[in-house]
Structure 1
Amino acid sequence: MKLTRALQGILTATALTTATMSCAAQPPTNGNVELGPRPYYLLADMDDGPVKQALQECANHPRPMKASDFSIGHRGAPLQFPEHTEESYRAAARMGAGILECDVAFTKDQELVCRHSQCDLHTTTNILETDLAGRCSQPFTPFDGTHPASAQCCTSDITLAEFKSLKGKMDGANPEATTVTEYLQGTPDFRTELYSANGTLLSHKESIALFQQLGVKMTPELKTPSVAMPWQGTYSQQDYAHQMIEEYREAGVPPDQVYPQSFLLEDVRYWIDHEGAYGNQAVFLDGRDSHGLDPLNPGTWQPDMATLAGFGVNIIAPPLWMLVTTNELEQIVPSPYAQSAKAEGLDMIAWSLERSGPLAGGGGWYYQSISPAINNDGDTFTLLDVLARQVGVIGVFSDWPATTTFYANCLKRLRHASK
């Protein structure tokens, strides 16, 4: 069934199931969530205006915060926890993310696991410190004064059992490292190592079981393979795409609880055409900016929005900067790309909030289309408000879901204030 337009249902609470969980890891037993200080820090840093006033009124009239499908945990909560680990997912659920993401890659024995890239084990796990380092596609090479330190370790280099023996770490690498230990110490300074001692890696099946336990919906991303397909001469791209969906069927997850994603339009069309109701909420991750797409120039959108809708695509998910631009007053407004998608009836999801460091100075890649309007961390909420109420996105990926959860819970007050 096609998703409800704009933000209908955004405040629907998601129950956080606590059965079989240890006391220390349980989400709140009353269904409420815990936001912590970050949303209020961002609110205090906002420029004065009606959005800040409405959010302050929401914050000053405390009521239980509820989980929301508008709040999507991007790899869990990787601003502070190692991405795609059990610890990261539990943190995101506690902060009210109604949907959690497992990026799906495959191992040497064709099992599915949660990793952002098929070949990122050297920066997201401790593999280089283990005996499995010898199995990596490219061994560690130290910085030689000219060429940066490097390595490449892929899920397809090792079996599922070997993958499960590893520990997740904060994503990062030191390009000037001369030793493995130095190489692994490359965490960006806006993240933290405080919660990285335990990084429990998960298979895709284990992520499904955990998400069922937490009572959240699921958005698996089929990662574009880094090896030639068919893998090992027999495992085709369609086999891979089908296997991912089949694991939800086997676990008894209803199709309306799953939002399968891919940057490859062929994967999305495969799900729509061959996987029944599981294809209805398939998400086309639009990364065509790397191939010349300009969100201000419809002539560069190939295929265009009408064609995508004709293929049966219901949801499109570009990086957040493609959905917004600035006007002559340097105010953030919807981009022509966003307006066209809305006109063709496509639902939109944006990625990824709080993926960059501090926003002073323009915010970096994720904010490139609106850098003139960005000068403080509080602009996170300014952008989020435009995405929600003007662009009409149905959800936003965030590396720290408390921010999007807080906004979702305050939306009614924002709507009322704008009347």
Structure 2
Amino acid sequence: MPRPTPLVIGHRGAPGYRPEHTRSSYDLALAMGVDAVEPDLVMTKDGVIVVRHENEISGTTDVAFHPEFADRKTTKKIDGIDLTGWFTEDFTWDELATLRSRERLPKIRPNSATFDGQQGILRLSDLLEIVERASLEQGRRIGVVLEIKHATYFESIGLAHADLLPAELRAAGWDQGKLPIWIESFEQTVLMQLRDSGIKASYIYLLESKGTAFDLVARQGERAIGYAAQFSPRGLDRLAAEVDGISVDKRVILAPDRLGRSAGPSSVVADAHERGLRVFTWTVRPENQFLIRQFRSSSDKSAYGHYEDEWAIIRDSGVDGVFVDHADLGVNFFRAR
């Protein structure tokens, strides 16, 4: 059943105000009242699950300023794309623990950048402790939305999420529903592997507005179907038998035309609900940089635009969950009936 108001999910904590995936980012989102927080999960060389937006960490840590790690800079092909930098899987956890976090978007969020260098990297085990403590202190059930990053790539180098994540959740006592868990990925293969492991969670398939899932490309090459085909009615018929829900790029709901004017809400939420699928969307942000053209207030990318007008279309679509960067704005807007 669709929710009366959507889950408000702190996307990497509260990165509108603190560097993403830091302890203070998560603490702030939880204090602001989100229903869940969303960490991205990548691996270290020694099999520790850490919380970073990507396995390439030059944009979110001070690794480039550590001369002892200068020789770790390299170029790799991740999901078919050549990337140059420093990668979590080339470090042990003890080495990563010496790094400090930095704001990923300092020109858009200069206030958040004032917290650069103050906090280290979190492990998944650290994040689970933070959420469990907040649940106890606030007297409410707070969940986690675990996003699996680059599953096919990590499996190819012997660091499979499907092997390491179940063990981590069992060790923390989170495997049988102590608090709500949603597991999401842009690759459905790893979702099915994790479901088979017996972890009690809801499994959510992430869908871009365009492009193709890398696990399908790796197996099928040019024959792989794109994301758009998967959120079509026919694609949703198949997904309804395999996953609990989908999480779509907000542009799928807003359906902007060539001039950046919304023609939404599109039918995708209603189509998914008809098939028993829950629907999340990402990422709702107030800055002009992230709004479709219709709702921008000026050419200043960091200034807030007419975000409530955009968010109203998303709310009115009937979504079950929204990922927000500014936890307080998201709670205040989406909790209002």
TM-score, reference length from structure 2: 0.80
Of residues 104-113 and 250-259 in structure 1, the stretch that sits farther from structure 2 once superposed is: 250-259
From 302, 308, 318, the counterpart of 1:381: 308
Q: Does the 8 Å CA contact 2:254/2:262 hold for their aligned counterparts?
A: no
Confirm whether residue 206 of structure 1 aligns to residue 126 of structure 2: yes
From 87, 92, 106, the counterpart of 1:159: 92
1:270 is aligned to 193
Gaps of 5+ in 2: 76-82, 136-141, 213-224, 298-303
Structure holding more strand per residue = 2
2:40 is aligned to 103
Quote the Cα distance in structure 1 between the aligned partners of 2:73 and 2:152: 11
TM superposition shift of 1:268? 1.4
Q: Secondary structure at the match of 1:122?
A: coil
Confirm whether residue 403 of structure 1 aligns to residue 297 of structure 2: no
Quote the Cα distance in structure 2 between the aligned partners of 1:228 and 1:87: 28
From 61, 67, 84, the counterpart of 1:125: 61
Quote the Cα distance in structure 2 between the aligned partners of 1:300 and 1:282: 16
2:115 is aligned to 195
Q: Does the 8 Å CA contact 2:186/2:205 hold for their aligned counterparts?
A: yes
Q: Secondary structure at the match of 2:205?
A: strand
1:320 is aligned to 250
Change (3 A) 1:260 1:331: closer
Gaps of 5+ in 1: 11-68, 140-149, 173-186, 412-419
The one-letter amino acid of 1:358's match is N
1:338 is aligned to 269
Q: Does the 8 Å CA contact 1:72/1:395 hold for their aligned counterparts?
A: yes
After TM superposition, the structure 1 = structure 2 runs for residues 140-289 of structure 1, keeping only pairs within 5 Å, are: 151-172=84-105, 187-192=106-111, 193-215=113-135, 216-225=142-151, 227=153, 229-231=155-157, 235=158, 237=160, 240-253=161-174, 254-255=176-177, 257-278=180-201, 281-287=202-208, 289=210
> Residues 277-302 of structure 1: CA distance to partner in whole angstroms, max 9, x if unpaired?
23xx111111261238585xx69849
TM superposition shift of 1:384? 2.1
Q: Secondary structure at the match of 2:255?
A: strand
TM superposition shift of 1:335? 1.3
TM superposition shift of 1:303? 7.0
Q: Percent identity?
A: 20
TM-score, reference length from structure 1: 0.65
Quote the Cα distance in structure 2 between the aligned partners of 1:300 and 1:166: 40
The one-letter amino acid of 2:120's match is T
Q: Secondary structure at the match of 1:170?
A: coil
Aligned length: 300
Quote the Cα distance in structure 1 between the aligned partners of 2:99 and 2:311: 36
Quote the Cα distance in structure 2 between the aligned partners of 1:300 and 1:283: 13
CA RMSD between the two structures: 2.7
TM superposition shift of 1:383? 2.5
Q: Secondary structure at the match of 1:318?
A: strand
Q: Does the 8 Å CA contact 2:43/2:159 hold for their aligned counterparts?
A: no
TM superposition shift of 1:317? 0.3
TM superposition shift of 1:251? 1.4
1:357 is aligned to 287
Quote the Cα distance in structure 2 between the aligned partners of 1:302 and 1:333: 17
Of residues 286-295 and 101-110 in structure 1, the stretch that sits farther from structure 2 once superposed is: 286-295
TM superposition shift of 1:225? 4.8
Quote the Cα distance in structure 2 between the aligned partners of 1:293 and 1:227: 19
> Residues 349-371 of structure 1: CA distance to partner in whole angstroms, max 9, x if unpaired?
111111x7326xxx45xx3xxx4
Quote the Cα distance in structure 2 between the aligned partners of 1:124 and 1:331: 33
Q: Secondary structure at the match of 1:275?
A: coil
The one-letter amino acid of 1:168's match is S
TM superposition shift of 1:275? 2.2
Quote the Cα distance in structure 1 between the aligned partners of 2:37 and 2:309: 24
